Amino acid sequence: AAVVAFREVGKSYGTEATVVHALRDVSVDIRRGEFTAIMGPSGSGKSTFMNVAAGLDDVTTGGVFLAGQPLHAMDDTARTILRRQHVGFVFQSFNLVPTLTVAENVLLPFELAGRSVTPQQRTWIDHLVHVLGLAARVDHKPAELSGGQQQRVAIARALASRPAIIFADEPTGNLDTRSSSEVLQLMRSAATEYGQTIAMVSHDPIAASFADRVLVLADGRVVADHGRMSPQQIS
């Protein structure tokens, strides 16, 4: 089943005189457990694709379904509720709360959603923290961690509630080569081992080579849809 389904989606900005078509007639399914890389030049519509898929932005035409629900037919409040239930985010800039500890940051999505952590979820989160090598850091603040560690905290936070999909926006953009490949390996195994669906926007052919699928956008259209590719094939 599709976690995200786009049906003939158009998204434009501006008024008639200055209209920009950020997405044009996009129809695509992102399936459960798939790790998809979204590539394309600057201005090709990658951020718009992600924002529309996550219900952060409304479509102009067509339909977008998230976990089977029609985002295009919902108001902002309903979309926000759906997003909090089903979506995790990872950003280039990590977006951790500086005043909170690692443990508090990881639990933040539960806090925001007003949900308590069940014993089963607690076990899962403890497992994640160990697997991500963060066990000795749970009481530290983000500023006391390296970039790679901070991104691992962000990934733990995104995985903690087992969302239907994680959107990762240039997640390795601020990391050195070694931390990058750790983070990519983690996302890869989250998809393979836990069936976690991940959509990652990236410019980096090496990052995209970790994905199961490479979608290429150009001028608001999906111009290529490949299976797993090597960095050489991508660049």
Both tokens of residue 170? 């240039």
Closest CB to ligand ADP among residues 135, 223: 223
Of 224, 117, 176, the C-alpha closest to 184 is: 176
> Minimal distance in Å, beta carbon 136 to ligand ADP?
26
DSSP of 5-22: EEEEEEEEES-GGG-EEE
Q: If you ran DSSP here, which 8-state letter would residue 72 be given?
A: G
DSSP 73: G
Out of 2, 32, 51, 141, name the contact with ligand ADP by CB under 6 A. Answer: 51
Characterize 157-169 residue by residue with b for buried, 16 or more Cβ atoms within 10 angstroms of its Cβ, and e for exposed: bbbbbbbbbbbbb
The answer to whether 92 contacts ligand ADP (rule: CB under 6 A) is: no
Question: Which amino acid makes up residue 221?
Answer: R
Q: How far apart are CA 191 and CA 212, in angstroms?
A: 9
Asked if residue 161 binds ligand ADP (CB under 6 A), the reply is no
# of chain residues touching ligand ADP (CB under 6 A): 20
Using CB under 6 A as the binding rule, whether residue 102 contacts ligand ADP is answered as no
Q: How far is the CB of 100 from ligand ADP (least distance, A)?
A: 14
- Our finding on whether 80 is near ligand ADP (CB under 6 A) is yes
Window 55-74: residues binding ligand ADP (CB under 6 A): 56
Query: 81 or 181: whose CB is closer to ligand ADP?
Result: 81
Nearest Cα to Cα of residue 132 among 160, 101, 156 = 156
Nearer to ligand ADP, 56 or 102 (CB): 56
- Sketch the per residue contact string, 10 through 49, with ligand ADP: x for CB under 6 A, - otherwise: ---xx-----x-x-----------------x-xxxxxxx-
Binding window for ligand ADP (CB under 6 A); candidates: 79-87, 98-106, 150-158, 172-180:
79-87
Q: Minimum distance from CB of 201 to ligand ADP (Å)?
A: 7
Secondary structure in 3-state letters for 102-163: HHHHHHHHHHHCCCCCCHHHHHHHHHHHHHCCCHHHCCCCHHHCCHHHHHHHHHHHHHHCCC
CA–CA separation, 88 and 180 (whole Å): 19
**Interface of this chain with ligand ADP, residues 108 to 127, rule: CB under 6 A:** 112
Nearest CB to ligand ADP, comparing residues 20 and 135 = 20
Q: Which residues bind ligand ADP (CB under 6 A)?
A: 13-14, 20, 22, 40, 42-48, 51, 56, 80, 83-84, 89, 95, 112
